[in-house]
Structure formats: structure tokens, C-alpha cells
């Protein structure tokens, strides 16, 4: 949420472009796919007036410790800075996904000022960050608000809204009440009955955005021969038991996409599967064939507590066909850690809003060794390294389509929806910037925000 305000990247998703030139005005790749060279814009400066240089880009790459950092850095052989405005990445082997990982699937391409970070240290940088984005840091009150001020020298354009205050309001009803009273101009994530109330409130505008965040059930014990989930028919039954259309209408007013995939439908190499089917009678039949005519106790159902309402609806559907489960909602950080640590069993309600493509989703959630992979299938695993080095786009698309088909045939997951993220906008807002960056949930680019003239 904050990267697009405080910071800028070498290249990043922007309106109409999956990867748009930003701090870099251009880049080239060698024909053998082993080298990528970026040319930085002239005259771009950080908020403290220091110029953005190739050394800052290199330092930011090396400093990055986030998602897929080890994977990305393991494939890079060297990072060179021939002059202050040129940076060259040399790869160990051809890697078609380098740009994807560097500019979208990770945060490694977002640039911080090396001299300032080294001067104040990591803790000092967290307390008073300096970036190269459209807004400067003013103050931060933990648990209350973050205050930002327009950076008039931003290279792309001068922001029209002079001051941004991002308030922390955890409760949805309280967020909506603040919007209705005019205490805030934009409210993120308003769901179910509250979203309908927002839609019916004069002066307020509903702003739904379908984001790159599919949700799914993951059957963590499907590789255990002693588990009911080991039987494909049981996993298929769970898929058939879920009334996605009704859940979608109830919780997100029908704005979520039902696409039966863990890959967002706006991603490169996405394969469009047939629509999911709701058939509880067939689900019961499959359970009986699998030796569970009266259903079974499926243990615990783990989820991020922010989406416990989705979990409750799914649990009710499963119960109707005989699959009994107990809800275990957790605070987000605890849930993500447990999922990644392979600490859960039975049913996991997963999801991801990360940028990337179909290959990055397969690597993270399907293929052996992935951070959220509890088990895998050898034939799917074998296809992954083939696509990872395939430079021919059509052949690579064919390989990734085969992988996605196999994931669906095995019912490794029960995809639920691609989230319709519902937001509210007050009467003072002109351009809210919702939905301008494909799949992105928040108001970005921030420099394009406008207020109506009074």
C-alpha cells in the first residue's frame, strides 16, 4: 500500500502496463537471456535531494530480504554499475522470469537511498523513511495514522493532493461510519451487509476492484495415505459442495470472480478452466463411494481471521454434505507463518495477492520445495524446470497450461474466488485511482488522486 506513495521502483506495474518504466527510462536484454541492462532517468532525486544512482539500485537489490529473495539472488551471478545511470544484472543461466521477479513478484526493484540508510541504520530508516516516490514522510503514530506530504519534484508529475493521512481503523463498521461522517474520504475493504449499506448511502460511491488475490482450500493431508483427503473423490466432493455464487453475492455483492484457479485471471500464462460446479448431491455420492456414506470429521479449518466470514460460509457448505470441520481463525501474521512453516493439517484457507505470473504461483504453492507446498506430484514437478528455461513464449505457455490442468484434475485445491475488494469513496474525491493498476487493490498511483473543486 505504501510503496507507491513513499517509494519508486526501477520498473513497476502502472495503468495500462504490466511493467512500466519508472526510475529506469529503458532496459535491454541480451539475446541469450543472460544479461539485463537498465538506464536510469536523469535528474531523479530522493526526498532529501540526493540523486538516484545505479549504486542505490544495486544496494536496494542486495538489501532486499522479502518474498522469494533467496530464489531471485541465487539466479543472479553479478550486479554491475558501469556508471551512475547504468546497472547490469548478469544471470547464471537464462531465466525468462527475471523481469517478472525483479519488477513485480518481489520488492527487489524498489529503490532506497544507500547513503541515508547506512547513516541512520535500519531502525532509523523505519522511523523516518526517505524514498523517491510522489509523497514524503511527515509523521507516524503507531496504530493511529501515517501522514505524508506531496513531493513536488517527483519525476512523473506533481501530486495534486497536498497531504495524505492514512488512518488505521481495523473495524469495518467503524471505517464505514467515518466515511459517512466525512472524517475520511476513502475507506478500504467494506464487505457483506456493510457494503450494501455503503451502496445505498447518498453521496458515497462503491468502488469494487477485482484484485489478483484468489482464495482457495488447500487439503494439506492429501499425500497421507491414512487421511480421507488422500482420496481424489473426497477432494472432488469438497469442491462440489461449495456454493460459490451464493457466497459471492452475500459477502462481496457478486463482485468477486469465480474462476476455479489459484492463478489470477489477469496473469500471464493463465489458463481458463471450466467454471466450478455446485452439486451437493454428487458430492455426497462421491463421499459414499470413497467409504464415507455418513461423511467424516475433517479436523480443523485454518484461516486468516480477516476472512473468517468466508470460512464460515464454506464450512456450512461442507457440513451440508457431511464434512465436519472446526474453524481456527488466526491473526494474519500468525496464520502466514504457520502456513509457511508447514504447521497446519486438514484444511487451510489460503490466498495470495502477490504480483507475478502463472509460473510464480506454481512455484510458490504447487511445486516441490515451494514455501507453501506440503506435498507435490512428480509429473507436475517435472514440468516446472522445463518451462523455467523455455525462452519460446508459445512453448512455455503450453507447459504452464499442462501444469494448471493437472493441478485442477488432481483437485489439489478447491478454489473459492478471485476477491472482489470493495471500497468506499466520499463526495470530495474526484479521481480515486481505484482499479487503474490491474489487480491492485488500493488507490494508486497516488500522484493521480484528485479532489473535486469546491
3-class secondary structure, 212: strand
CB-facing half-sphere around the CA of 230: CA atoms within 13 A: 7
Whether residue 152 is predicted with pLDDT greater than 60 in this model: the reply is yes
Averaged pLDDT, 247-256:
96
219 phi, psi to nearest 5 deg: -90, 90
Does the pLDDT of residue 454 top 80, yes or no?
no
pLDDT (mean) for 260-264: 96
Q: What is the mean pLDDT of residues 129-145?
A: 97
Q: How do the domains of the chain map onto residue ranges?
A: 3-118, 211-419
Q: Each residue of 215-245: pLDDT tens digit?
A: 999 999 999 999 999 999 999 999 999 999 9
Handedness of CA 99, 103, 108, 114 (dihedral sign): positive
Give the pLDDT confidence score for residue 70 in this predicted structure. Answer: 87
Give tens-digit pLDDT for 352-380: 998 889 999 999 999 999 999 999 999 99
pLDDT at 335 over 60: yes
Taking residue 394's Cβ as centre, other Cβ atoms within 10 Å add up to 7
> Given a cut of 90, is residue 268 above it in pLDDT?
yes
Confidence category of residue 1, pLDDT binned at 50, 70, 90: confident
**DSSP string spanning 128-141?**
S---SSSEEEEEEE
Q: What whole-number percentage of the chain has pLDDT above 90?
A: 94
Looking at the domain that runs over 3-118, which CATH code has it been given? 3.90.76.10
pLDDT at residue 372, rounded to an integer = 96
Q: Which residue has the higher pLDDT, 438 or 26?
A: 26
**Contact criterion met (CB below 8 Å) for 255 and 207:** no
Q: Cell numbers 517527483 correspond to what residue? A: 154
- Is the bond preceding 129 in cis, omega lying within 30 degrees of 0? no
What grid cell was written down for 334?
Answer: 500468525
Domain 211-419 superfamily per CATH:
Dipeptide-binding Protein; Domain 3 (3.10.105.10)
Average pLDDT, the chain: 96
Cα–Cα distance measured from residue 314 to residue 247, given in angstroms and rounded to the nearest whole number: 8
Per-residue confidence (pLDDT) for residue 206, from 0 to 100? 95
Q: Is the pLDDT of residue 40 over 60?
A: yes
What predicted TM-score, i.e. pTM, was given to this entire model? 0.88
Question: Angle at Cα 9 formed by Cα 6 and Cα 10, nearest 5°?
Answer: 155
Amino acid at each position: 500500500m505504501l510503496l507507491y506513495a513513499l517509494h519508486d521502483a526501477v520498473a513497476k506495474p502502472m495503468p495500462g502496463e504490466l511493467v512500466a518504466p519508472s526510475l529506469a527510462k529503458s532496459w535491454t536484454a541480451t539475446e541469450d537471456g543472460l544479461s539485463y541492462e537498465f538506464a536510469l532517468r536523469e535528474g531523479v532525486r530522493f526526498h532529501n535531494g540526493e540523486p538516484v544512482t545505479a549504486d542505490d539500485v544495486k544496494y536496494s537489490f542486495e538489501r532486499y530480504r522479502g518474498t522469494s529473495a533467496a530464489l531471485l539472488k541465487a539466479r543472479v551471478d553479478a550486479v554491475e554499475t558501469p556508471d551512475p545511470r547504468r546497472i547490469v544484472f548478469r544471470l547464471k543461466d537464462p531465466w525468462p522470469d527475471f523481469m517478472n521477479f525483479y519488477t513485480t513478484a518481489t520488492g527487489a526493484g524498489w529503490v532506497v537511498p544507500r547513503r541515508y540508510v547506512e547513516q541512520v541504520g535500519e531502525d532509523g530508516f523505519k522511523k523516518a523513511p526517505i524514498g523517491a516516490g510522489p509523497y514524503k514522510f511527515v509523521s507516524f503514530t503507531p496504530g493511529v495514522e501515517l501522514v505524508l506530504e506531496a513531493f513536488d519534484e517527483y519525476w512523473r508529475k506533481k501530486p495534486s493532493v497536498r497531504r495524505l493521512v492514512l488512518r488505521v481503523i481495523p473495524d469495518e463498521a467503524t471505517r464505514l461510519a467515518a466515511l459517512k461522517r466525512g472524517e475520511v474520504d476513502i475507506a478500504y475493504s467494506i464487505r457483506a451487509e456493510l457494503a450494501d449499506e455503503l451502496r445505498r448511502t447518498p453521496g458515497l460511491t462503491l468502488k469494487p476492484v477485482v484484485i489478483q488475490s484468489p482464495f482457495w482450500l488447500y487439503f494439506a493431508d492429501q499425500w497421507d495415505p491414512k487421511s480421507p483427503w488422500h482420496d481424489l473423490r473426497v477432494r472432488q466432493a469438497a469442491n462440489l459442495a461449495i456454493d460459490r455464487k451464493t457466497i459471492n453475492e452475500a459477502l462481496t455483492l457478486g463482485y468477486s470472480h469465480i474462476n476455479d484457479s489459484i492463478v489470477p485471471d489477469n496473469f500471464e500464462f493463465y489458463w481458463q478452466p471450466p467454471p466450478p460446479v455446485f452439486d451437493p448431491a454428487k458430492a455426497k455420492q462421491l463421499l459414499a463411494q470413497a467409504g464415507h456414506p455418513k461423511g467424516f470429521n475433517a479436523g480443523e479449518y485454518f484461516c486468516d481471521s480477516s476472512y473468517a466470514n468466508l470460512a464460515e460460509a464454506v464450512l456450512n457448505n461442507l457440513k451440508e454434505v457431511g464434512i465436519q470441520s472446526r474453524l481456527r481463525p488466526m491473526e494474519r501474521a500468525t496464520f502466514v507463518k504457520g502456513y509457511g512453516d508447514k504447521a497446519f493439517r486438514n484444511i487451510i484457507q489460503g490466498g495470495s495477492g502477490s504480483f507475478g505470473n502463472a509460473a510464480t504461483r506454481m512455484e510458490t504453492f504447487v511445486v516441490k520445495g515451494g514455501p507453501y507446498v506440503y506435498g507435490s506430484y512428480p509429473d507436475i514437478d517435472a514440468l516446472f524446470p522445463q518451462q523455467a528455461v523455455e525462452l519460446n513464449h508459445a512453448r512455455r505457455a503450453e507447459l504452464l497450461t499442462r501444469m494448471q490442468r493437472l493441478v485442477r484434475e488432481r483437485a489439489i485445491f478447491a478454489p473459492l474466488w478471485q476477491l472482489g475488494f470493495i471500497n468506499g469513496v466520499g463526495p470530495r474525491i474526484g479521481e480515486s485511482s481505484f482499479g487503474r493498476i490491474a489487480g491492485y487493490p488500493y488507490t494508486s498511483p497516488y500522484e493521480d488522486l484528485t479532489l473535486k473543486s469546491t
